[in-house]
Each structure stands twice: as C-alpha cells, then as structure tokens.
Amino acid sequence: MDTILEDNRLYTRAELRELGLLNYAPMSFLRWEKDNLLTPVKPGGRPCSRTHYWGWNVKAFLKTRAK
C-alpha cells in the first residue's frame, strides 16, 4: 500500500483522519500505542502536547493492517 505520507514528517491524528488513512476513535489510537504498533510523539516533550506520529511509523502500521 503506497501512501502520500512523508517519512520524516509528523502527522496528528486529525491529519491522518483528513487524509482518510485512519478514521478511528481516539481509543483505537491508544490501543495501537499500547500494543506498540504506533509510537506517539509529543513535540516539545510536554504531556499536554497534541499527539503526532512519524510518517514512516504510520506507513509501517498500515502495511501490517493490509495483510
């Protein structure tokens, strides 16, 4: 599955939804993070920062779901 994501760019959950790649509820994202399928990134290291994901991480995750 080839996506339009750039490997070295951070994407928010909202951006992933807008792109039509991951249209899921927040709890799904949290479950994938807990299962180490997606690695959350908090820019600035602040707990209240919006969660982001690296493009390469989302691409790898999508490949596992396509099987």
Please tell me the predicted confidence (pLDDT) of residue 11.
Answer: 97
Please tell me the predicted confidence (pLDDT) of residue 21.
Answer: 92
Does pTM top 0.75 for this prediction? yes
- Please indicate, yes or no, if residue 26 is contained in any of the structural domains: yes
Give the range of the structural domain holding residue 21, as residue numbers without chain letter.
10-65
- Please indicate, yes or no, if residue 54 is contained in any of the structural domains: yes
Please tell me the predicted confidence (pLDDT) of residue 2.
Answer: 57
Taking only the tens place, the pLDDT of each residue in 6-62 is 999 999 999 999 999 999 999 999 999 999 999 999 988 788 889 999 999 999 999
Does an H or E element contain 62, and which? helix 55-65
Query: Which of residues 54 and 67 earns the better pLDDT score?
Result: 54
- Please indicate, yes or no, if residue 50 is contained in any of the structural domains: yes
First to last CA, the chain: 10
Please tell me the predicted confidence (pLDDT) of residue 1.
Answer: 47
